[in-house]
Structure 1
Amino acid sequence: MYKVLIIEDHEVVARSVAMIVEDLFSGSVVSLVSTFGQGTDLLQPAYKFDLIILDIDIPGGEFYGMIGSLRALQPDVRILVFTGQLEEKHALGFLSAGANGFLSKNSPMNQIGIAIRQVLNDKKYMTEQVQQQVADSFFNKVLGKTHTEPATLSPREMEVLDLLMQGKWVKEIALELNLKLTTVSTHKTRIFEKMQVSNIIELYKKVQVSKGV
């Protein structure tokens, strides 16, 4: 059903994750490699992967630069970072670099399947802790502006911003807040203008800078 590449140098972890993928999506083709170079070698134009599950502590890895290297080979591939590194220290950095999700290896086993499903559904995956970290960073920055700086966000714009940072689409936000699609789209446009960004990734980059990541 899906073509999945697992870049992980711990064989037991790699095979365990592969089994989870196969249990979730019967018939999926799962490829396992133990170095970053082996992973990039498999990313050929004629063979498109749907998902890459990436350990950032991998031989040949370039840390945040790995995301850009993978996207340069297959721009539309979904990337889920699955690592033993502390999420409070590195999640925002990898998400801002373009990863679709970040999951700690210390998370409960059921979260792996949830993260995989969410990323394959073209949504961002973050734990509640990281979502709160994102929200706190933005709200503190917005509320801390002086009157000489750009206008702050309205309460409704803050609600929309919080949901955008959770990886929700405009349609989902409209349903959750009981608003029209056009109204949510307008709020999103105003948020981007006030925050002086043009896309979600730039929002994450601002968070990264404000947190000193």
Structure 2
Amino acid sequence: MSELHILIAEDHGIVRLGTRLLIKEMYPLAQVAEATNFKSTLQQLEKKQFDLLILDINIPGGDSIQMIQAVRNMQQDIPILILSSYDESIYAIRYLKAGANGYLQKESDPQEIKTAIHKVLHNQPYASDTVQQQLFQSLSATRNPQGAFKLKNLSDREIEIMHLLAKGVSPTEIKNKLHIQLSTISTHKARIFEKMEVSNVVELAEKLREIELIRRNAADNSVNDTGSSAQP
């Protein structure tokens, strides 16, 4: 492969450094640029063609899922790998449907990150085994835990606001981050509480923890069942 130009859009220095080191191990001649906010990301995309964008969906100045289209408006065919601390069971499929080429959690081991980078660079989609299982279950109409159905009823914006509320982010901070009115946040909050069948933020955070626990147990059971069926 000819000299690569890769842009890492991430506000945490330690994550940028770790990602850069992994890229250099794979492609020693790669030119790696960095951006610490979304405005800088767009400015660099405007000035130069890149072969890959590694994007943190929580980068300052960004508005989450809408960032994908903003990037595509600058460089239509650039491969985009999402590297996020957000729960992939909630967010991955939404971002892949929005146009990202891959989704990976920051907690992934180095080899998985390398695999994701390699695949996305070669125009192959990437999703973890967990996300692939979700896609398979969705296509085969396999019944997910009840909480998963509740999450599917939420819009992308509601998912985004729900995540921030559960983290303890105040409505004013959400307003500044997402550039929406407090009245809009209040409306979304009421809809989230109704759909998730909770009455306050504490219950919402607890509900999300329960859903994640159920999801992990279901995934573990699926792996165990597969292993058992493989026995002679």
TM-score computed with the length of structure 2 as normaliser: 0.60
Look up the match of 2:29: 27
In the alignment, residue 60 of structure 1 is paired with which amino acid?
G
- Higher mean alpha-carbon deviation, 90-99 vs 15-24, is at 15-24
Tell me the distance in 2 between the aligned counterparts of 1:47 and 1:34: 17
What is the CA-CA distance between 1:121 and the residue it aligns to?
1.1
Q: CA deviation at 1:107?
A: 1.3
Deviation at 1:58, TM superposition (A): 0.7
What is the distance in 1 between the residues matched to 2:60 and 2:72? 19
- The C-alpha deviation readout for 1:168-196, integer Å capped at 9, x for no partner, is xxxxxxxxxxxxxxxxxxxxxxxxxxxxx
Partner of 2:6: 4
Letter in 2 for 1:105: K
8 Å CA contact 1:33–1:39 kept in 2: the answer is yes
Residue 43 of structure 1 aligns to a residue whose secondary structure is: helix
Alignment-derived partner of residue 20 in structure 2: 18
Q: CA RMSD in A?
A: 2.0
- Aligned residues of 2:10 and 2:34 also touching (Cα < 8 A): yes
Asked if residue 211 in structure 1 is aligned to residue 152 in structure 2, the reply is yes
Which residue in 2 is equivalent to 1:165? none
Please state how far the C-alpha of 1:132 moved relative to its aligned partner: 0.8
Q: CA shift at 1:212, angstroms?
A: 3.1
The one-letter code matched in structure 1 to 2:139 is F
Shift of 1:99: 0.2
Cα distance, 1:38 vs structure 2: 0.3
Name stretches of at least 5 consecutive residues in structure 1 with no aligned partner. Answer: 144-207
Partner of 1:37: 39
How far 1:211 sits from its partner (Å)?
Answer: 3.1
* 1:109-133 deviations in Å (ceiling 9; x for gaps): 2111000001011110000110110
Using structure 1 for the length normalisation, give the TM-score.
0.65
**Are the equivalent residues in 2 in contact too, given 1:6–1:54 (CA < 8 A)?**
yes
Percent identity, aligned pairs only, is 34
Cα distance in 2 for residues equivalent to 1:106 and 1:42: 27
3-state DSSP of counterpart to 1:81: strand
1:1-213 superposed matches below 5 A: 1-44=3-46, 47-140=48-141, 211-212=152-153
Q: Determine if contact 2:52/2:81 at 8 Å carries over to the other structure.
A: yes
Q: Residue 97 of structure 2: SS of its match in structure 1?
A: helix
Would the aligned equivalents of 2:56 and 2:84 in 1 still touch at CA under 8 Å? yes
CA deviations over 1:74-122 (Å, ceiling 9, x no partner): 0010000001000000001100000000000121121110000010111
Q: Which has the higher contact order (CA 8 A, sep 6+)?
A: 1
Instruction: Give the residue type in structure 1 aligned to 2:58.
Output: D
User: Deviations for 1:121-163, whole angstroms, at most 9, x for unmatched residues?
Assistant: 111000011011011111118x9xxxxxxxxxxxxxxxxxxxx
Equivalent position SS for 1:140? coil
Cα distance in 1, alignment partners of residues 128 and 15 from structure 2: 20
Residues in 2 aligned to 1:103 and 1:2: alpha-carbon distance in whole angstroms: 21
Structure 2, unmatched stretches of 5+, are 144-148, 155-232
2-structure distance, mates of 1:93, 1:129: 14
Contact kept? 1:137, 1:211, Cα under 8 Å = no
* Cα separation, 1, equivalents of 2:22 and 2:153: 35
